[in-house]
Amino acid sequence: MASPVPDDVDGVESDSGLAFTLRYAIPGLVATTVIAIGALGVGWIPWESALVDVPIIHTLKTTDIGQFVSRASVILGGALFLQAWLVVGADILAGHVRDIRRLWAVLALWSAPLLLAPPLFSRDVYSYFVQGKLMLAGGDPYTQGVASIPGWFRDGVDPMWQNTPTPYGPVFLALSRGVAAFVGDNTWLAVVAFRLIALVGVGLLAYYVPRLAFHCGIDASKALWLGVMNPLVIMHFVAGVHNDALMIGLVVAGLAIAIEGRPMLGVVILSLGGMVKPIGLLALPFVGLVWAGTRADLRGRVVAWVKTAATFALSYVILAGMVGTSLGWIRALTTPGEVRTWLSPTTALGMASGNLLSWIGLGDHVDLTVGVFRAIGEVAAIVIVAWLCLKPQGRTAVRSLMLAFLAVVALGPVIQPWYLLWALPLAAASGLSPRELRVVISLTAAFTLYGLCETSASADSLLELSDGLAMLASAAAIGLAVTVSPRERALVFGGATSHGLMPDDQPAAARRDRLVVRGPASA
């Protein structure tokens, strides 16, 4: 079998390693370094932490000039990073860069400055830490909130989650307990430890997305650029330290291993991802399609689904027994839905309808209308996922899973920017038309802007003039990043140099066709 990691280099890659580094690695490295500097002032550091007393951090966090420098750094760094990513993408899509190993090195350099930076764009990592402390104290995170642990607020947990059960699986709870036991009360070391865990997820994506793309007939370097080197991955998996990184990394790894002829091992690895964050279990019926084979009839698929379910059940029983957790995560799956965000179409429709009813004098029914629209969305998502499973003909299992994740996110009760990263690596690996690619790049730019506007780098409250100005500055910086040169404009808006992620030649098309589900009638 041909290798998914090409050894040949051409175009720009024929230049020296120094020229390659200066052109592709250094701009992104500078950008993430600037972001890391800004994070010292506007990143999430518990006020009781000794780090706040470090002179430079104290100045950046407590003085007007420090806050200005910090905000400006994160905004500027975010825009510079988006632009650096687009430059790399333009040359990859044009065929000038194909060396996966060099791109892995670029990704590592881009991520390095953020390794020790305070968390940005979210402080969920502190919840992970205190949930681990709760387990060490003999508590059950599925029935108790972190507020039951003395000093939980001192450890940086968002008060929004103080009394909510954890929605995470036994594998991640075991990791949380291990981190808490290892670092003791050192919150800073806990952040670094959880970031290293997130980087394991990014590493799995960096290795397996190109392999998965190869089997789907997509150029490995293109898939790596779009699905892993993406600014949203750096923002939310590396800087934001979300456990979604490990979850989707294990899902992609399991799917790739199943496609490479080891379906049982693939299911076990994928199950580990679902036991980090249960949304990963959505992949089980689709890896079952891989296990059944592209020519299987419905009976063959049902048999494969039964084997998949049995493998998962055995894996779960063994791991949950080792960790000592119950099935409480099933009850806790609704925890993220306690947040209301206008990003979710169903929640937005519910809030808008409720506000309209209140405005015309029919009373306050926002809770009711939000509940109704969310229920409609959830039913629609279930129907779409069922259809993707039962009518898979004409698609690869990889693309079907990507569409399933998109349906669950778009129709779910809450959308966070990092939820898009459940589908992004699969979209990059399974292929995109030129138009679809432009949409993904535009969404990347839009959610990069959203991330800058939602973090404390630009806004804690829309009511403050300085925050509004910071948001305008964010929008201007992102606008410049995507329009600074014809190549970047072509990627975002389309043009003669715009490309999709499609098979480049006949062998690549043949590899993709071998994964397309046909059914027995096409045999």
Structure tokens at 522: 């096409």
Residues in the chain: 523
Q: Report yes or no: 148 and 139 within 8 Å, Cβ to Cβ.
A: yes
* pLDDT on residue 463: 33
Among the listed residues 315, 209, 308, 296, the one whose alpha carbon sits nearest the alpha carbon of residue 264: 308
Round the average pLDDT of the chain to a whole number and report it: 83
Q: Report yes or no: 313 and 306 within 8 Å, Cβ to Cβ.
A: no
Q: Report yes or no: 222 and 95 within 8 Å, Cβ to Cβ.
A: no
* pLDDT on residue 428: 95
Helical pair 397-411 and 345-359, crossing angle rounded to 10 deg: 20
pLDDT tens digits along 420-460: 999 999 999 999 988 899 888 888 888 887 777 765 544 34
* pLDDT on residue 461: 34
Under DSSP, the state recorded for 25 is I
pLDDT tens digits along 97-137: 888 999 999 999 999 999 999 998 888 899 899 899 988 88
Among the listed residues 110, 102, 89, the one whose alpha carbon sits nearest the alpha carbon of residue 30: 110
pLDDT tens digits along 13-28: 445 677 888 888 999 9
* pLDDT on residue 105: 93
Can you tell me the distance from the alpha carbon of 82 to that of 230, in angstroms, rounded to the nearest whole number? 8
- Which range, 173-182, 197-206, 407-416, 489-498, has the best average confidence (pLDDT)? 197-206
Q: Coil, strand, or helix at residue 390? A: helix
Residue 491 exposed, middle or buried by CB count within 10 Å (0-12, 13-18, 19+): buried
7 pLDDT higher than 90: no
Query: Does residue 345 or residue 502 have the better pLDDT?
Result: 502
Q: Report yes or no: 267 and 378 within 8 Å, Cβ to Cβ.
A: no
From the centroid of its chain, how far is CA 462? 26
- Which range, 70-74, 256-260, 370-374, has the best average confidence (pLDDT)? 256-260
Among the listed residues 121, 116, 113, 101, the one whose alpha carbon sits nearest the alpha carbon of residue 28: 113
Under DSSP, the state recorded for 494 is -
Q: How confident is the model at residue 209 (pLDDT cuts 50, 70, 90)?
A: very high
Can you tell me the distance from the alpha carbon of 40 to that of 456, in angstroms, rounded to the nearest whole number? 12
Helices (H), 94-143: 100-111, 124-136
Taking residue 365's Cβ as centre, other Cβ atoms within 10 Å add up to 17
Structure tokens at 428: 């990059």
Q: Can you tell me which residue has the tokens 């502190």?
A: 126
Can you tell me the distance from the alpha carbon of 84 to that of 86, in angstroms, rounded to the nearest whole number? 5
Q: How far apart are the first and last CA of the chain?
A: 23
Q: How confident is the model at residue 251 (pLDDT cuts 50, 70, 90)?
A: very high
In 7-72, beta strands by DSSP E? none
One DSSP character per residue, 175-197 reads: HHHHHHHHHTT-HHHHHHHHHHH
Q: How confident is the model at residue 377 (pLDDT cuts 50, 70, 90)?
A: confident
* Burial call 225-237: b when 16+ CB within 10 Å, e when fewer: bbbbbbbbbbbbb
Q: Report yes or no: 238 and 120 within 8 Å, Cβ to Cβ.
A: no
